[in-house]
Each structure stands twice: as C-alpha cells, then as structure tokens.
Amino acid sequence: MSVTPTTVDTANIGRTDSTVLTAPEDAILTLGPGSATGHDPEPGNSDQAAILEEDDQEPDDFHPGWRLWAIIAGMTVALILTALENTAVTVALPVIVSDLNLGDNYIWFTNAFFIASAAIQPLVGQLSNIFGRRWIMLTNVAIFTLGSGICGGANNAATMIAGRTIQGLGSGGITLLGDIIMSDLVPLRLRGNYLGAILSVFGIALTLGPFIGGSIVATTTWRWIFYLNLPIGGAALILLFIFLQVHYDDDAPLSQKLKRIDLLGNLVLVASVVSALFALAYAGSTYSWGSYHVLVPLILGLFGLVVFRYTQVGRIAATEPVMPPRLFQHRTSVIIAINTFINSGLTFWCLFFLPVFFQAVKLYGPQYSGVALLPGTVVAIPGSALAAVAISRWGRYKPVHVAGFAVTVIGLGLLTLQNPSTTVAQWASYQSILALGGGVLINSQLPAFQSPVEESDQAAASATWGFIRSIGFVWGVAIPATIFNNRISELLEEHITDPVAVQALSGGRAYGSASAAFVRQFPPEIQEQLRYVFSQGVLRVFQVAIAFAGVGFLLSLFEDEIALRKKLKTKFGLKVEGNARTVDAEASTSTEPEKALDAVIL
C-alpha cells in the first residue's frame, strides 16, 4: 500500500521559541506542537512543558513481520564484523606491535581506526538521507571487508595503519546505519527491544572476540584475525542485498543531490578532529604537553571545532547542515551527548587495559587473557537487555542512566584493588560488576538523545550521537595510554634495576611492551619489579576512570524525562510489494487522513 509521504516543513524546525521547557525533576516531559514541529506554542504556556499530540498517546499499532527480522539478521551479521574486530585485536595488539615493529606508532593502530570511524559518521548520515539507506550500507560493509584484507596482508606499519583506516571508515558507517535503519523501522518507545536483540548477538561476538583473538595468536598467526572478516563480510553483503529492501523515493538529478551535502561542515569537522586527536596521541609520551608538537595541532583542532559551529548556522550554513544546532536545544540532549562520550570512552578504557593487567601483571598468555575477559562481556549482555526492557515498558530512561553510572563507579573502584596477587574469583567479580553498569548504559543513551528530536531529524541525531560515541572511543584509548605511559615513566628509575628493561619501557613504549612474553624474558627478580610497575600503571588508569564515571553519574541526575514516541513517522520505511508508500503506524485507529502519512506499517 502506498501514499506519497507528506513533505516536512523544515524551515521552522529548531526555532528557539520551540524548545521543550524544563519540568520538575521527576516529571516526564512530552513533545508537542510547540516543541519540535516548528509551530509556536500557545501564549501563556512559556513556563510549562509542551503537551504531546493526542494521537501519540494512543496505543501503537506496530506489527513486526518476518521481513523486519530478516533485515535485523543481515545487520547483525554486519555488526559482528566490528564486534569481533574491536575485541579480538585487544589481546593480539602486543604481538602485532612486535611483529610489524610499530614502535611509537602503535597508538595509530587503534587511533587510525577510531578517528576514521568517528569522522565519517556525520557524512554517512547525510548520504543515507540523500541516496537512501540500502546502497550506503552495502558500500560500508564492502569497505570494511576490504580494509580487513589489507590488514591481514600487511607487512609493515604503513600498510597496517592504512588498512585500519579503511576498516574504520567502513565500521563507522555500519554501526551508524544500523541505528538509523532501526529508527526507520521501529517506533522510539519500542526501539530498545529490537536494538537489544541485535546487541545480544553483538555482545556474544564481543564475548567470543578476545577468546578467538587469543586462540588465533596462540595457534597460528594474528593475520587470521583480519582474514576471518572476509567470509563474514561476504555473508553480510549477501543477506543485506537480498533483504534490506527499504523505501527510497528521490528522483532528483545527481547534481541536486550533491548540493545537499554539507561539504564545508564535513571538511572542517574532519580536519579539526584529526588535528586534535593527533596531538592527543603523542601528548605525554613522545612529546610533553607543553611541546609545540602537541600544542599547535591541539589548538588548531579545538579552534576548528569552534569554526565548525559557525558553519552550521547563518549565511554560510548548508541547506542541510551535517550537525544542525537544533539537535542540542534541550538540556537532556546536551547531557546525553556528554555522557555518551564518557561511557563510550570508559568502554574502551577497560577493554584495552584489562588485557594489560592480565598479560603484564598476571602473566597470562594471549589466549587465556581472552578467556579472562569473558565474565565482563557475558554480564554486559543481560545488563543491556534489562535496560532495553525497562525503557520500553515504563518509558523512563533517567533511572536507568543513574543506576548504570552508579554501578560503573563501583566497578571501577573495585578494579583499583587489583594487584599481582589478585585471585581469579576477585578479578572476575570486579569485572562483572563493572560490565553490568556498562551494559545498562550502552543501549540506553541513543533513545534518550532521539527523544527531543523531530522524526525528520532522526538520521542527523543518530549520526551526531554516533560521532560523539566514536570520538569517545578514541579518547578512551588515547587518554589511558598517556596516563599509563606517564605513570610507568615515573616509576622506572626507582623500581626497575635492569637497564634493558628501563630502556624498553621509556619514551612512551610501556603500553607496547605490556605482555607476558616481554616480562618473562627477564630473571625472576626483574619480573617481580616489572609486574609491580605495570600493576601501578594500570591502577592509575582506573583511578582516573572513576572521576570520569563520577561526572557521568552527577550529570545523569539532571536529565529530564521526555516521553518516548509510540508512533513511527518516516519516509525510509520497509518497502511494500506492489507499491512503495508509507503510512502511519496507527493509521488503522486514526480517523484523520493526514495522520496516515509519513510512517510505516510492517
């Protein structure tokens, strides 16, 4: 069945007089005519929250079918690519660094991936609006698979970093488009349940990733960590090509479509991010924070972000800004953006430094280090599912966020108790508590960020949120690496008596040497010294992490509860055989013809 989607009046979206106002702390705010649709609120209501449209308060008429689950299956396989990649390489990284002689450039093994992943997401969001979801998704899966092949065949640092950059471009698009496509197919209130289903499989891949990575390193070559992505990528392409049949109806000439891309905004944003993160990669290790090598790119990057803000408004703004300011008009949107950055940073903070503890302090091999991460990754799955069910059932995300950050603070505090004599039961329990808090948060931030935003801006909101999350990943590797290397440098002369060991760990090379193989090459006395120093370095890393999680907890207390919409309105919904119209998800219960437009019946 088909009706031509109504045209959204974007001229008034995001007006300053349409901001959702603050309600009492425990009130649930609802968006209505005066908030996100561009209409002026009624006079005299400036001190009250806007009221949700009546039809949004009616029961939804959402009926998922097998085609939705087929699309979810295809996207899940694609996301398995990035899940295996992100965790398998954490236990294999020391070996890769050694084999390819990455030296001081080891940080770019991760930073190249995450910088590319973050920088591409706003552009991918725009491209999916202009050219549709299907082909952009297929292209990104192909790009990631190509990058995996390059990494697997790399024989030097330059080739490996180039492959990781290509992988990052594909990964950023895959993860973002997964969120966007689910936003097209499932109403906001129920979205967490379906994202939870995807993340459950994603979580299993995360769980198996360290074990698979450790097993591959122990039994064959690390190259198979990347080659394994080739058949998985091929399967994802086939499934998505067959089943990802979503609506896209734009017959405009290519020249007009290209004009919609915010070239200036994307260029300034990418340049700024790369410049700032380049400085961060070397700060405190290769160069001091006061060095011009750090200060110049850092200042340029931060200044570029200020310039980017002005490319999104005023006369120089594109017709469709890549990150429209209206996405941040509500206080809750700003808080969720900050907490998304913090939570994503802490996720990789732990994923990259728990293996350091296991290998350099406990002297576990790569394979057993992967097994040692299982308690955390297993517990994160039910934590994520619990959050999704709670939000869908009660429509409240604030208690979930407060609880998630509270448990995360406790978990990080427990990790600071770890030392060379920590037992298996202790580190498994500590890790599980931390993972429960992280699991609760990982799937609950996006619906809250989307809630104050008009449906026509869901792709831009998802892209912006994904960009913030990816930037958090980069900082979540770079910041603790700097902290770790600096702490090791402080302890070397006092606690390490072997000059060879001191030389190997100096100049920011401590993280690259944090492996059981490195420690075991020295006599037992020096091994004890090294284990102590590595333990103190990891301790400092998790001490600083507590402060970040504490900020997230405090900010979550100031979130507003905004009603999560039960209705779905989109022009990118599931294709219906015979025609390609989109209708309102509650059309069967509505008596007004205009309410039957701009959404999907599944």
Whether 182 is covered by a domain: the verdict is no
Please say if the pLDDT value at position 42 is more than 50: no
Please say if the pLDDT value at position 452 is more than 50: yes
Which segment, 27-41, 44-58, 227-241, is predicted with the most confidence on average? 227-241
Q: Give residue for tokens 């990418």.
A: 270
Whether 72 is covered by a domain: the verdict is no
pLDDT digits (tens, 9 = 90+) for 195-225: 767 767 776 776 677 778 888 888 888 899 8
Segment 41-65 shows an average pLDDT of 44
Q: Which residue from 153, 152, 214 is spatially nearest to 355, judged by alpha carbons?
A: 214
Q: Domain containing 303: what range? A: 263-317
- Strands 561-562 and 28-29, sheet pairing: parallel
Q: Which residue from 360, 380, 358 is spatially nearest to 438, judged by alpha carbons?
A: 380
- 334, two tokens: 């700003």
Whether 272 is covered by a domain: the verdict is yes
Confidence of residue 56 (pLDDT cuts 50, 70, 90): very low
Whether 279 is covered by a domain: the verdict is yes
> What pLDDT sits at residue 437?
92
Whether 276 is covered by a domain: the verdict is yes
With vertex at residue 541, the alpha carbon angle to CA 115 and CA 160, rounded to the nearest 5 degrees, is: 35
Segment 510-536 shows an average pLDDT of 90
Confidence of residue 250 (pLDDT cuts 50, 70, 90): low
Helix axes 66-99, 229-243, angle to 10 degrees: 160
> Whole-angstrom Cα distance, residue 178 to residue 197?
12
Lowest mean pLDDT among 11-20, 356-365, 454-463: 11-20
Segment 232-250 shows an average pLDDT of 84
Confidence of residue 12 (pLDDT cuts 50, 70, 90): very low
Whether 516 is covered by a domain: the verdict is no
Percent of the chain with pLDDT over 90: 25
> Whole-angstrom Cα distance, residue 384 to residue 399?
14
Contact 537, 418 (CB under 8 A): no
Confidence of residue 554 (pLDDT cuts 50, 70, 90): very high
> Whole-angstrom Cα distance, residue 329 to residue 34?
13
Please say if the pLDDT value at position 573 is more than 70: no
Lowest mean pLDDT among 407-416, 442-451, 586-595: 586-595
> Whole-angstrom Cα distance, residue 96 to residue 512?
10
Please say if the pLDDT value at position 424 is more than 60: yes
Whether 368 is covered by a domain: the verdict is no
Confidence of residue 569 (pLDDT cuts 50, 70, 90): low
> Whole-angstrom Cα distance, residue 62 to residue 303?
46
* 600 or 189: which leads in pLDDT: 189
Residue 576 phi/psi, 5° resolution? -110, 130
Helix or strand or coil: residue 342? helix
> Whole-angstrom Cα distance, residue 291 to residue 314?
36
Spell 312-349 as b/e; 16+ CB within 10 A means b. Answer: beeeebbebbbbbebbbbbbbbebbbbbbbbbbbbbbb
Q: Which residue from 590, 540, 538 is spatially nearest to 569, judged by alpha carbons?
A: 590
> What pLDDT sits at residue 119?
81
For 361-387, the three-class secondary structure string (H helix, E strand, C coil) is: HCCCCHHHHHHHCHHHHHHHHHHHHHH
- The one-character DSSP state at 28 is E
Q: Which residue from 480, 544, 513 is spatially nearest to 348, judged by alpha carbons?
A: 480
Q: How far apart are the first and last CA of the chain?
A: 11
Strand intervals (E) in 325-436: none
> Whole-angstrom Cα distance, residue 456 to residue 453?
8
Q: Which residue from 86, 136, 102 is spatially nearest to 347, judged by alpha carbons?
A: 86
Q: Which residue from 398, 427, 399 is spatially nearest to 411, judged by alpha carbons?
A: 427
The number of folded domains in the chain is 1
Which segment, 46-55, 195-204, 264-273, 285-294, is predicted with the most confidence on average? 264-273
Which segment, 84-98, 363-377, 399-413, is predicted with the most confidence on average? 399-413
Helix or strand or coil: residue 266? helix
Put residue 44 in one of left, alpha, beta given phi > 0 → left and psi -120 to 50 → alpha.
left
> What pLDDT sits at residue 162?
93
Beta bridge partners, 574, equal 246
- 492, two tokens: 């070397």
Element (H, E) at 29: strand 28-29
Residues 6+ apart with CB under 8 A from 594: 6
pLDDT digits (tens, 9 = 90+) for 330-376: 899 999 999 999 999 998 888 889 989 999 999 998 778 878 888 88
Q: Give residue for tokens 């100049």.
A: 507
Q: Which residue from 533, 541, 521 is spatially nearest to 419, judged by alpha carbons?
A: 533
> What pLDDT sits at residue 63?
61
Q: What is the DSSP string of 213-229?
A: HHHHHHHS-THHHHHTH
**What's the chain's average pLDDT?**
78
Whether 583 is covered by a domain: the verdict is no
Helix axes 133-152, 157-185, angle to 10 degrees: 160
> What pLDDT sits at residue 51?
32
**CA R_g for the chain:** 24
Residue 204 burial (C-beta neighbours within 10 Å; 0-12, 13-18, 19+) = middle
pLDDT digits (tens, 9 = 90+) for 119-173: 888 888 888 888 888 889 999 999 999 999 999 999 998 999 999 999 999 988 8
